[in-house]
Amino acid sequence: MKIKQFAIEEWMNEYEDDAVYNLAETCVDSLTMEELITLSGDSYDEYFHSISKLRLSYGHITGSPRFKENVANLYKTMKPENVLSMNGAIGANFLLLYSLIEPGDEVVCVDPTYQQLHSVPESFGAVVKHLPLTYENRYLPDLEELESLVTSKTKLIIINNPNNPTGSVMDADYLKKIVEIARINDSYLLCDEVYRGIWQNPEAEIPAIADLYEKGISTGSMSKSLSLAGLRLGWIVASEEVIQKCITRRDYTTISNGMLDDLLAVHALTNYDKIMERNLKIARDNLRILDDWVSNEDKISYIKPEGGTTAILKYDSKISSEEFCINLYNDSGTFIAPGSCFGLEGTVRIGYCCSTKVLTEGLEKFSEYLKEVN
């Protein structure tokens, strides 16, 4: 099996650890263990004393009942039987693709998106058709073009909402139109929803694909919207038929996730509203800062994100996006990601949901750098 190098992950692995101002990170500012436990008013010491006698077995193989119940509660129509735990959304996506895709299958995937979503099915021998998301269309799918790409042979349509790297958001009406295209062709529809809930519009009510369509599949995780990437825990939400297909293949790759990860995830999900209140404030306050900064930088333009934690910035220079980012990094330790990682040369991706202090100081360094760029 041949597979393309994972551009954004290789970039992060190369530079992230030594960054001074990490504006490439895509999680909302990570919670500490103490912050997580005390959110509910529990004593940090008492909580860990209460679990100190926990026997560290494999635990519940497909996710604990409490974990599944809490995840199911994030959806309108899903039950615990529709939930399967995995090692992050990256594990969830891989398992889902491994379970559904055979050589020769036809897949339609939005682009740009998280590279895994199109490179993995390609590596399995699928015929992947790319649906471009353009600046001119505010990085939303052209529904007429999608309709022309999807045929009765299309096994799977893949979308990402909110979108990484652009921050575009498909609203309920938009999603329902995509569902109809999938339903007419009897295609599965996978939506990577790791940034779900991080909406800039306080009135937004955007459904999960698993709630909209009988062959809809949602993947999510504790990492991005919930600030707990260190738990390495995600999930697939789908019909019981799809979940069973995934379980059969999961036995060969995962067995189970960590009991402590599951336990802490349950604690977080029980306090979901409190975490989201914190994280929405960070996302909305920080986007105002980024938006003000963009409006004052002649060499930068963008489509303002409507959700998620990232934005694509177009810059006015002829140098490559990789060189642009390396020079900024070497000058000040400010770390962003080149648009070339997403097939968007002439742009960079910025993650704006880090701590407000890091964002503000990093943007100041970015401004100093832009004065020198030709």
Asked if 182 and 298 sit in the same domain, the reply is no
pLDDT of 124 = 98
pLDDT of 193 = 99
Asked if 214 and 240 sit in the same domain, the reply is yes
**For 65-86, how does the pLDDT look when each residue is reduced to its tens digit (9 = 90+)?**
999 999 999 999 999 999 999 9
Q: Residue 309 falls within a domain, yes or no?
A: yes
CATH number for the domain spanning 176: value is 3.40.640.10
Asked if 203 and 347 sit in the same domain, the reply is no
Indicate the residue among 219, 240, 271 that finishes a domain: 271
Which ranges of the chain have pLDDT less than 70? Answer: none
SS (H, E, C) the chain: CCCCCCHHHHHHHHHHHHCCEECCCCCCCCCCHHHHHHCCCCCHHHHHHHCCCCCCCCCCCCCCHHHHHHHHCCCCCCCHHHEEEECHHHHHHHHHHHHHCCCCCEEEEEECCCCHHHHHHHHCCCEEEEEECCHHHCCCCCHHHHHHHCCCCEEEEEEECCCCCCCCCCCHHHHHHHHHHHHHCCCEEEEECCCCCCECCCCCCCCCHHHHCCCEEEEEECCCCCCCHHHCCEEEECCHHHHHHHHHHHCCCCCCCCHHHHHHHHHHHHCHHHHHHHHHHHHHHHHHHHHHHHHCCCCEEECCCCECCEEEEEECCCCCHHHHHHHHHHHHCEECEEHHHHCCCCEEEEECCCCHHHHHHHHHHHHHHHCCCC
Indicate the residue among 253, 271, 289 that finishes a domain: 271
pLDDT of 286 = 99
pLDDT of 42 = 82
Indicate the residue among 245, 271, 297 that finishes a domain: 271
Asked if 11 and 148 sit in the same domain, the reply is no
Asked if 323 and 225 sit in the same domain, the reply is no
Q: Residue 108 falls within a domain, yes or no?
A: yes
Q: Residue 226 falls within a domain, yes or no?
A: yes
Query: Which range of residues forms the domain containing residue 318?
Result: 7-34+274-370
Number of independent structural domains in the chain: 2
pLDDT of 43 = 86
Q: Residue 314 falls within a domain, yes or no?
A: yes
pLDDT of 44 = 84
pLDDT of 56 = 95
**For 10-54, how does the pLDDT look when each residue is reduced to its tens digit (9 = 90+)?**
999 999 999 999 999 999 999 999 999 988 888 888 888 888 988
pLDDT of 16 = 97
pTM exceeds 0.95: yes
Q: Residue 50 falls within a domain, yes or no?
A: no
Assigned token pair, 217: 């599949």
